[in-house]
Amino acid sequence: MRLELATASALGARRGTFVFLHGAWCWNWYFKPFFLPYFATHGFDAVAFSLRGHGGSDGRAHLNGFSIDDYVDDLRRVLATVERPVVVGHSMGGFVLQTYLTQATLRGAVLLASAPPRPMPGLLVKSLLAQPLHLIRAARPKQDFNRDMLRQKMFSRGPEDTSMDAYLANVQPESTRVAASMLTRRILHPEAIGTPVQVIGAGRDQMVPPEAVALTARAYRTKPVMFDTMSHMLMLEAGWRDVADTILRFEASLPR
């Protein structure tokens, strides 16, 4: 199955590789405007791929049949083509990354506004994932496209904030099988994972609220880095550079 790749080659002396994994209802598009070129200017080969059924990858017609384990297989395939990368998993992509880490070790992993390692009843992240059909309808530009809902849920903005409307058309359906499984699925023994993990969250995130970020950090015995004035799409907001620099500092702390 062909997976869509977006790449930016390291400029100057090459320091390493970053692989970026997107979240639910999205594809690799949101790493392209800022993250890929920024990491390349800092000496890293940067790779962002679209999971099967997402963006330009194969499998769109079979999207609802895909599982988290299928997505883990996609990540494994991409990682087989690069050398000792640091992987950044955003939102649902963070859960896919955590699942992979129970099976293999990486040089480093960044959980960026990531779904937590276990469901958290009562939090918005669960109530949102419990309504995948609502988002699927909203992701169809000619049928029930609700920009207000997308601003509040996908981009964690109020309906009056139109600053990110240029990105809204890129939202797409997600696998209902994946959305449903994340209501009950958990990462077993995250404390046993040997990969160094950085946890980053956003204070205004409505999809993965601070409580979920705190739970994730406790599971990996680390302290989260919080961007209190930012929302779920940290790689697109005005402060994206601060987030990228935090990830770069984490990479610099890792053994070579």
Instruction: Count the domains in the chain.
Output: 1
Structure tokens at 66: 């895909």
Could you tell me the CATH number of the domain that includes residue 38?
Answer: 3.40.50.1820
- Share above pLDDT 70 across residues of the chain, in percent, rounded to a whole number: 90
- Between 163 and 5, where is the model more confident? 5
Q: What pLDDT is stored for residue 138 in this prediction?
A: 40
Question: pLDDT tens-digit profile of 102-139?
Answer: 999 999 999 999 999 998 765 544 454 444 444 444 44
- Say how many C-beta atoms besides its own lie within 10 A of residue 121's C-beta: 7
Place of tokens 């405007």: 33
- Say how many C-beta atoms besides its own lie within 10 A of residue 246's C-beta: 16
Q: What is the DSSP letter of 28?
A: G
Provide the residue range defining the domain that includes 99.
5-252
| Residue 112 vs residues 200, 212, 244: alpha-carbon distances, Å | 5, 12, 11
Q: What is the DSSP letter of 100?
A: H
Mean pLDDT along residues 7-24: 97
| Residue 169 vs residues 30, 104, 127, 179: alpha-carbon distances, Å | 12, 35, 23, 21
Mean pLDDT along residues 224-232: 96
Question: pLDDT tens-digit profile of 48-81?
Answer: 999 999 999 999 999 999 999 999 999 999 999 9
| Nearest C-alpha neighbor of 146 from the set 131, 168, 167, 125 | 168
Rounded CA gap, 242 and 86, in Å? 18
